[in-house]
C-alpha cells in the first residue's frame, strides 16, 4: 500500500530539483559523486532532483558545495 503525503510538494521544490539536475548535467558531474561530496546517498539526491522530497537548508548548502557553486545560485529565479 502506497503512503499518501499529508500535503502537496510545493512547486518551488520541484523547480529546485530541476535546477540541481541541470547544473549536474551542465558541469558533467556524476550524480553519485555529487551525492558523495554532499555526504548523502544517491537515492536521497535522486528524490531531491525529482522534487519528491523537501530538503533542509543544511542539505541545500551541502549540495551547493558539492556542485562548487554558491547556495544562492540554486535558489535564484525560483
What distance in Å separates the CA atoms of residue 28 and residue 41, rounded to the nearest whole number? 19
**Model-level pTM?**
0.89
Alpha-carbon separation of residue 63 from 20, 47, 52, 55, 78 (angstroms): 8, 13, 16, 10, 17
- For residue range 29-40, list pLDDT tens digits in order: 999 999 999 999
| Mean pLDDT across the chain | 94
Question: In the predicted model, what is the mean pLDDT of residues 4-32?
Answer: 92
Q: Based on C-alpha coordinates, what's the Rg of the chain?
A: 12
Percent of the chain with pLDDT over 90: 87
Alpha helices (H) along the chain? 11-26, 31-37, 42-50, 57-67, 71-75
Percent of the chain with pLDDT over 70: 92
What pLDDT shows up at residue 51?
94
Amino acid at each position: 500500500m502506497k503512503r499518501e503525503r499529508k500535503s502537496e510538494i510545493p512547486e518551488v521544490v520541484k523547480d529546485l530539483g530541476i535546477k540541481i539536475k541541470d547544473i549536474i548535467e551542465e558541469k558533467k558531474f556524476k550524480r553519485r559523486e555529487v551525492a558523495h561530496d554532499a555526504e548523502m546517498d544517491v537515492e536521497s539526491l535522486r528524490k531531491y532532483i525529482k522534487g519528491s522530497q523537501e530538503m533542509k537548508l543544511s542539505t541545500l548548502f551541502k549540495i551547493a558545495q558539492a556542485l562548487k557553486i554558491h547556495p544562492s545560485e540554486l535558489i535564484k529565479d525560483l
